[in-house]
Amino acid sequence: MTSQNPPLTPRHIAIIMDGNGRWAARRGLPRAAGHREGVRAVRRTIEAAIEHNVRWLTLFAFSSENWRRPAEEVTDLTFLLRHYLRSELNELAEAGVRLRVIGERDRFGPALEAELAAAETRTEGNERLNLVIALSYGARAEIVAAARRIAREAKAGTLDPALLDEDNFTAHLATAGMPDPDLVIRTSGEQRLSNFLLWQAAYAELIFDDALWPDFGAANLASAIAEYARRERRFGARPAMPAPVK
């Protein structure tokens, strides 16, 4: 594969939304206040993504490790998720946004699981922006689950292990049918992926923004897209050598 320049706008942007707690702590507020302000940042980012003609936006909203947080904080996060669905769904649908959820949604209980499924069904015909929310998601668990499905298929005789390749494996992931992210953004200045889309982000461009998530907005997204446009994506290939001078 030869080196190539990326298009001006990435097709798929994935964001690790980090810094709600620190945002609240710096203001002497409870962590729940940071999460509530983070919801406003989600709204701004979706609007900005649409303006930039981004086709896929994946937001890391709740990791599988977040269940280890205090029960009160988990309850606050769950309440905010339910509130977001109920307050924003009509606007998302009217804006042409299709909502998808990846992760262990069943861990949130049957009532919220049903609401998530209904939201997906309500918006499944929309094509302007594919909004993917990662809930109770962990990339290692996702890969293990895919391996288990493949093992079951191989045992049942419906899959020949000798024919297993990267495309086939990808089709068993939670993100089957989605393009890999071109750009992964993490806010709050932390510089790690934190078990987010490890398989899918193999060749993504990474940008680490110092802004805490509640402060993230259209200008931050525009800056990240501009930085992406300046980069040369090689996908593991060597850059083209210049022609010899005669």
Task: Please tell me whether 205 is known to bind a ligand.
Answer: yes
Which candidate in 66, 126, 180, 195 is catalytic? Answer: 66
| Catalytic annotation present for 66 | yes
Q: How many CB atoms lie within 10 A of CB 59?
A: 20
Active-site residue flag, 126: no
Residue 243 Cα to chain centre, angstroms: 41
Choose among 200, 174, 170: nearest CA to 104.
174
Which has the closest alpha carbon to 23: 34, 15, 32?
Answer: 34
- Please check if 160 is assigned to a binding site: no
User: Binding residue per annotation — 36?
Assistant: no
195, 18 contact by CB (below 8 A): no
Is 213 annotated to bind a ligand? Reply is no
The gap between the terminal CA atoms of the chain, to the nearest Å, is: 28
Is 140 annotated to bind a ligand? Reply is: no
Query: Strands 129-137 and 12-16: what pairing?
Result: unpaired
Distance separating alpha carbons of residues 149 and 103, to the nearest angstrom: 16
67 is in an annotated binding site: yes
Among the listed residues 5, 18, 53, 165, the single catalytic one is 18
Strands 56-63 and 183-186: unpaired
The annotation status of 31 as a binding-site residue, yes or no, is yes
Backbone angles phi, psi at 101, to 5 degrees: -125, 130
Is 192 annotated to bind a ligand? Reply is yes
User: Is 82 labeled as ligand-binding?
Assistant: no
Q: Which residues neighbour 52 within 8 Å (Cβ) at sequence distance 6 or greater? A: 9, 221, 222, 225
The reply, when asked if residue 230 is annotated as ligand binding, is no
Helix (H, G, I), strand (E, B) or coil at 25: helix
Q: What are phi and psi of 244, to 5 degrees?
A: -60, 145
**65 a known binding residue?**
yes
40 is in an annotated binding site: no
Q: Is 194 annotated as a binding residue?
A: yes
Which parts are annotated binding residues for substrate? 19-23, 31, 35, 63-65, 67, 69, 186, 192-194
Which parts are annotated binding residues? 18-23, 31, 35, 63-65, 67, 69, 186, 192-194, 205
Cite the active site residues.
18, 66
